[in-house]
Amino acid sequence: MNLFPGRSQRPILAAETPKGPWSGQDDEQPRNPWSVPPSSRKTTAKPTALDEFLKRTRGGGGGPGLPGGANPRALWLIGIVLLVAIWVVWTSFHQIGPQQRGIVTYFGRYSETLSSGIRMTLPAPFASVTKVDVEKVRVDDFPRDGSGENLTLTGDQNIIDLAYTVRWNIENPRDFVFQLEEPTATVRDIAESAMRAVLATTTLQDAIGAGRTTIEARVQQAMQQILDDYKSGVRVQGVSIKQASAPAALIDDFNAVTAAQQKAVGNLNNARSYAQQVIARAQGEAAAFNKQYEQYRLAPEVTRRRMYYETMEAVLARSDKTVIEPNGVAPYLALPPGRRLTDPETPAPQSQAQPQPQQGGQQ
């Protein structure tokens, strides 16, 4: 059966010559295996989200997220407005801590001081807020790292190794921020200058001894005076001397001098004690003499005789005595030598020979 005239229909079940993968459209012409078959179509890649976004920004059709085909310029404008709003909120509200104060400046000029809490100012760059901790106590160590030597000259031309600390805080935050360019370094320089000025009028003994308290008070007063003259807004809390000793190279000689000074002080104290004893005894004797003089004025003869007897008793009590008859001839008594009263422990010597009594002359 021929459905289409003019064309021969091959039988459906007729055997066809198989075509290999290297055969072309016609059996007589083999094609290149690396070329694209004419009957196949190129597959187009699916556009990415970045491509869609770039297409929309170039003016392409509105996507599913842009209702009614919104203008890209409006999107950029909304983004800029949001950024500006965030910047205004971020730079206009300030949280000031309980121990802090906020120094507000408009274009670099001081405006006000903010107390603790959440405060609001104009946004940057119109306003700027500097937070200052007014309750923190700063501590400066001399020397800076706590080790090494800090040699200082005293008023009596001696050198000592001095270590001390200075404590201070901020009393007026406005002056602290605006009056000094480098307030921390300035306070340190003033502390060192005041300490050297005070020690230049202090002796070595006071610097290493009981005079430390006085030195600390004088240094604190001198520092505060200079800082007030500078209008620094700083309050000095105290000065503490931790060490005051001789340099390491002179420690042996320094200890020898210190020992000699202590010995001299001890001898001076002993001399003063002895002088006080002598003075007290002399005052007692003078008081006794005045009392005798009063008695002498009342009875001169009796007082004179009594003083004579008392003086002779005191003199004869310490000497050997021999009693003889004043007139006539008396036998000589061979009495043993008397015992000296100055040494009561020494026994009286025994007589070696008994001399014979003699008649005649007065002994």
pLDDT in tens, 110-153: 989 998 888 888 888 888 999 999 999 999 999 987 777 889 99
| DSSP at 323 | -
Compute the CA torsion angle 298, 299, 303, 305 (nearest 10 deg).
170
Least confident of 35-49, 153-167, 276-290: 35-49
Long-range contacts of 354-359 (CB under 8 A, 24+ apart): 357/331, 357/332, 357/333, 358/331, 358/332, 359/329, 359/331
Residue 107 has pLDDT above 80, yes or no: yes
pLDDT at 12: 44
pLDDT at 137: 94
Read off the pLDDT of each residue in 208-230 and give the average, rounded to a whole number: 93
Q: With CA atoms as reference, report the closest residue to 34 among 47, 21, 46.
A: 21
Q: How confident is the model at residue 306 (pLDDT cuts 50, 70, 90)?
A: confident
Dist. CA 281–CA 294, nearest whole Å: 20
Q: Supply angle C-alpha 187, 106, 83, rounded to 5.
A: 115
Residue with tokens 């050997």: 320
Specify which residues 239 forms β-bridges with.
166
SS3 (DSSP) at 69: coil
To the nearest 10 degrees (0 to 180), the angle between helices 300-316 and 251-298 is 130
**This model's pTM is above 0.75:** no
Range list of β-strands (E), the chain: 93-96, 100-106, 109-114, 117-120, 127-133, 138-142, 151-153, 159-170, 234-245
pLDDT at 69: 53
Q: Which two tokens stand for residue 353?
A: 């020979």
Least confident of 82-86, 230-234, 335-339, 349-353: 349-353
Least confident of 42-56, 178-192, 309-323: 42-56
Read off the pLDDT of each residue in 317-324 and give the average, rounded to a whole number: 71
Read off the pLDDT of each residue in 14-36 and give the average, rounded to a whole number: 51
pLDDT at 145: 79
